[in-house]
Amino acid sequence: MTPTRSLAALALVAALAAAARGDGNQERARAHFEAGRVQYNLGDYPAAAREFAAGYRAVPRPQFLVNLGQTYRRMGQLERAREMYERFLADAPPNDRARPQVRELVGEVERELARTRAAAAKRRTGTEPPDESARDESARDESSRDETSPRANGAP
């Protein structure tokens, strides 16, 4: 096991032990958030999704939905990512500071889905997609993905 994975495993065990010592769903949600963040940062997106989902079940805070959306997006599950972002927008308070960013994420995912559909249509028919500007937007979108890690400021 690499040193990074060893530290991650240790952090995961510590987070789960803290949840076991604490009482209530809040501690379990926090432990799942921390474990999800560790897994996400290691690139183990399926494990991260399981942890974020478990945290959401413990304490259904809308911020978990953003983390799930980011995780599904990294796994290439764009429809599920969009669903999580839209659920956040439906569930979060109107004054939640993350709303503008999540609206942008929905737009980015919708553009990615459009490009994916256009590429699939091109493969099926052997023709160019009708909107070439989608390729130009792709380059811009790639540069804006620096903020895709789980939201530490919205943790339970």
- pLDDT digits over 53-70, tens only? 999 999 999 999 999 999
Cα–Cα distance measured from residue 102 to residue 88, given in angstroms and rounded to the nearest whole number: 8
Distances (CA, A) of 25 to 87, 98, 145, 156: 21, 23, 32, 10
Cα–Cα distance measured from residue 38 to residue 45, given in angstroms and rounded to the nearest whole number: 10
Residue 18: which residues within 8 A CB-CB, separation 6 or more? Answer: 27, 30, 31
pTM for the model stands at: 0.69
pLDDT at 48 over 90: yes
Count helices and strands (H / E) in the chain: 7, 0
pLDDT at 6 over 80: no
Per-residue pLDDT, 126: 75
Per-residue pLDDT, 8: 47
- pLDDT digits over 106-138, tens only? 999 999 999 999 998 888 887 665 555 555 454
Assess contact for 29 and 156: CB atoms under 8 A: yes
pLDDT at 50 over 80: yes
Least confident of 47-56, 123-132, 143-152: 143-152
Distances (CA, A) of 26 to 7, 37, 93: 24, 16, 19
Residue with the two structure tokens 């895709």: 148
